[in-house]
């Protein structure tokens, strides 16, 4: 297969734009035009590997564009800040995947999620101010990327004391994660102690426990020093009491409740979670760990993940997203992906029609796609809230 330098250059710059938001930040105006220039000015040399060519031509291209000055000029631009946060998050995700689970995460974060490698907004602001107020001159995006990687390496995992302070100061960022952590634990305890199962049936106990733990931590009612283990232990105590109450209401003696401890040992993990009713994947909130994939504060990230679910039929959430709309989605794909006009789609599906009928049918199809877009996106937003 022969390579097309123009196409390669378009792909390089398209990806650079997607990753570093070059058009929106105003460094370039048209990716196609810039790619044509890049291909013309920096063709691959004889025997040059793709990776070497990419490195050389992007280095030269950004030097010509004055990337260093551009970064300095945009350091206070919120879009530049968002882009930097996205780079940092991508590095943190990779570090999190490659590292051992911290004890803080084991006690406080949902199974597939992290607090230790999460970019809490206030923490990002601190890091951004400290690292970008006196930033070095970046010759190209690769250097900016490496700088963000260094920020991630130097400052993560976040110290347990800092996370605890965040929880004491009632930061939703940490509490939302902890509430999700509590859900399968609530399910496990309720099933073992009171025989209650199912997401709906445990919901009240779970939310009461969340409120109790939050009030105790935020109200500084736990004995200092409060660490991650103290928080999970207190939560388990609340759960035990709630189950005792249920047993009392059923007029049964809660004989063995006090004997059960929540330990994060392999045996306990097996006993509580490796059970068809209570295993974490049966709880939608634990499935997939969307928080690792989506940065909910970044519109690009939320929209990008929507496209991935919609396009990829093998994605675990695809069927749920398109359920009931399958035919309409197929027609929408023919319009947006295959590039067929409304007239062509109508003609392909209904055969030859009179002019008036065809116009009517096309208008109907256009309306259908417009409504479908709204319905699908609304459904997606509900889904990501549910699976967050």
Partner 1 sequence: MNGHIDIRTLSDYFLNRLSREEETAVQEHLSGCPECRDRLEAMRRLRTGFFEDGAQDLSRGPVFFRILRSGWIKAAAAVIVVAGIGVLTYDTLRNRTNITDEHLIREGHGPKDGEVFAIDTFDAEDSLYYKEKYGDDFLKSDSF
Residues engaged in binding partner 1 (CB under 8 A): 1, 3-4, 7-8, 11-12, 14-15, 18-19, 50-51, 54, 86, 90, 93-94, 142, 145, 293, 301, 303-308, 310-312, 314-315, 332-333, 335-337, 339, 373, 377
Residue (244 or 318) nearer to partner 1, CB = 318
Minimal distance, residue 66 CB to partner 1, in Å = 22
Minimal distance, residue 333 CB to partner 1, in Å = 7
Which residues make Cβ contacts (< 8 Å) with residue 287, sequence separation at least 6? Answer: 281, 316, 387
Residue (4 or 161) nearer to partner 1, CB = 4
Residue (104 or 301) nearer to partner 1, CB = 301
CA distances from residue 41 to 10, 64, 94 in whole angstroms, order as listed: 14, 11, 35
**How many CB atoms within 10 Å of residue 221?**
10
The Cα 72–Cα 16 span in angstroms is: 19
Which has the closest alpha carbon to 241: 186, 177, 182, 181?
A: 186
Minimal distance, residue 193 CB to partner 1, in Å = 39
Which has the closest alpha carbon to 161: 234, 225, 214?
A: 225
Residue (236 or 317) nearer to partner 1, CB = 317
Which residues make Cβ contacts (< 8 Å) with residue 146, sequence separation at least 6? Answer: none
Minimal distance, residue 151 CB to partner 1, in Å = 15
Minimal distance, residue 381 CB to partner 1, in Å = 13
Which has the closest alpha carbon to 293: 306, 276, 279?
A: 306
Residue (88 or 167) nearer to partner 1, CB = 88
Minimal distance, residue 305 CB to partner 1, in Å = 7
Which has the closest alpha carbon to 163: 149, 177, 147, 151?
A: 177
Cβ–Cβ < 8 Å for 272, 188: yes
Cβ–Cβ < 8 Å for 131, 186: no
Residue (123 or 376) nearer to partner 1, CB = 376
């Amino acid at each position: 297969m022969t390579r097309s330098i123009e196409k390669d250059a378009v792909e390089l710059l398209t990806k650079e734009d997607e990753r570093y938001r070059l058009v929106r930040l105003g460094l370039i105006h048209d990716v196609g035009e810039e790619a044509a220039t890049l291909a013309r000015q920096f063709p691959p040399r004889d025997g040059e590997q793709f990776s070497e060519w990419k490195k050389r031509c992007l280095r030269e291209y950004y030097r010509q564009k004055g990337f260093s000055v551009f970064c300095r000029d945009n350091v206070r631009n919120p879009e530049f800040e968002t882009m930097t946060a996205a780079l940092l998050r991508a590095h943190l995700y990779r570090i999190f995947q490659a590292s051992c689970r911290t004890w803080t995460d084991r006690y406080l974060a949902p199974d597939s999620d992290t607090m230790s490698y999460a970019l809490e907004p206030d923490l990002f602001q601190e890091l951004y101010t400290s690292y970008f107020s006196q930033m070095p001159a970046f010759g190209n995006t690769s250097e900016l990327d490496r700088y963000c990687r260094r920020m991630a390496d130097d400052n993560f995992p976040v110290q347990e004391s800092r996370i605890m302070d965040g929880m004491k100061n009632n930061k939703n960022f940490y509490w939302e994660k902890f509430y999700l952590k509590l859900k399968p634990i609530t399910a496990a305890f309720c099933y073992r102690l009171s025989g209650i199962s199912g997401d709906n049936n445990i919901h009240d106990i779970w939310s009461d426990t969340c409120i109790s733990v939050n009030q105790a931590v935020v109200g500084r009612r736990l004995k200092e020093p409060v660490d991650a283990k103290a928080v999970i232990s207190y939560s388990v105590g609340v759960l035990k009491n709630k189950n005792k109450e249920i047993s009392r209401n059923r007029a049964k003696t809660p004989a063995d409740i006090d004997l059960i401890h929540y330990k994060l040992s392999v045996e306990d993990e097996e006993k509580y979670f490796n059970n068809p009713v209570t295993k974490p994947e049966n709880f939608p909130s634990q499935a997939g760990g969307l928080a690792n994939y989506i940065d909910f504060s970044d519109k690009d990230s939320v929209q990008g993940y929507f496209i991935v679910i919609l396009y990829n039929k093998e994605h675990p959430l695809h069927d749920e997203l398109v359920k009931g709309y399958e035919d309409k989605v197929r027609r929408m794909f023919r319009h947006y992906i295959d590039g067929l006009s409304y007239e062509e789609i109508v003609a392909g599906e209904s055969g030859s029609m009179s002019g008036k009928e065809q116009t009517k049918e096309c208008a109907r199809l256009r309306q259908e796609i417009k409504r479908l877009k709204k319905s699908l996106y609304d459904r997606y937003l509900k889904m990501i809230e549910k699976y967050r």
